[in-house]
A and B are shown apart, each in its own frame.
Chain A
Amino acid sequence: MSVLAELQKASLSPGPEFHPEKHPMDDFLRMDRMPHIWCSTCGIGVSVNCFAKALEKCQVPLDQLVVVSGIGCTGRVAGYVKVDSFHTTHGRAIPFATGLKLANPKLKVIVFSGDGDIIAIGGNHFINAARRNIDITVICVNNFNYAMTGGQMASTTPEKSILSTAPFGSYEFPFNLPFLAESVGAVYVARWTSLHVYNQTNSMVEAIQKPGFSFIEIIAPCPTIFERQQKMGDGLDRLRWYCENSDIRNGASTKEADIRLRDRMVVGKFVDVERPTYLQAMNAHYQERLGSKYKVYEG
Chain B
Amino acid sequence: MPVRQRENPFGFPKPETPHGEIVILEERCKGCGFCIEYCPHQVLVISKRYNLKGYHPPEIAKPELCVNCGFCRMICPEFAIYTYETKTGDKP
Contact = CB atoms under 8 A, between A and B. Distances in A.
Decide if A and B touch, CB cutoff 8 A. yes
Interface of A: 18-19, 21, 23-26, 29, 34-36, 38-46, 48-50, 53, 194-195, 197-198, 201, 235-236, 239-240
A222 to B, nearest CB: 12
A197 B74 CA distance: 6
A19 B27 contact: yes
Nearest to A38: B77
| Residue from B25, B37, B79, B82 whose CB has the most chain A CB atoms within 10 Å | B79
B27 A44 contact: no
B34 A236 contact: yes
A19 B37 contact: no
7 residue pairs, one from A and one from B, having the closest CB atoms? A45-B77, A40-B30, A197-B74, A41-B32, A23-B79, A236-B33, A21-B25
B26 to A, nearest CB: 9
Contacts of B82: 23-24
B45 interface: no
A21 B27 CA distance: 10
Interface of B: 23, 25, 27-28, 30-34, 37-38, 55, 71, 73-80, 82
Contact of B28 (A35, A43, A50): A35
Contacts of B77: 38, 41-46, 48-49
Given A19-B25, A19-B27, A40-B55, A197 B75 contact: yes
A164 to B, nearest CB: 24
A99 B79 CA distance: 32
A49 B76 contact: yes
Given A26-B79, A239-B37, A21 B74 contact: no
A239 B71 CA distance: 14
B48 to A, nearest CB: 18
Contacts of B32: 40-41, 235-236
Contacts of B55: 40
Contacts of A21: 23, 25
A40 B74 contact: no
A43 B55 CA distance: 18
A50 B74 contact: yes
Contacts of A34: 28, 79
5 contacts: A18-B28, A23-B25, A46-B76, A197-B74, A236-B37
A29 B76 CA distance: 14
A194 B77 CA distance: 10
Contacts of A198: 71, 74
B78 A45 contact: yes
Nearest to A197: B74
A40 B28 contact: no
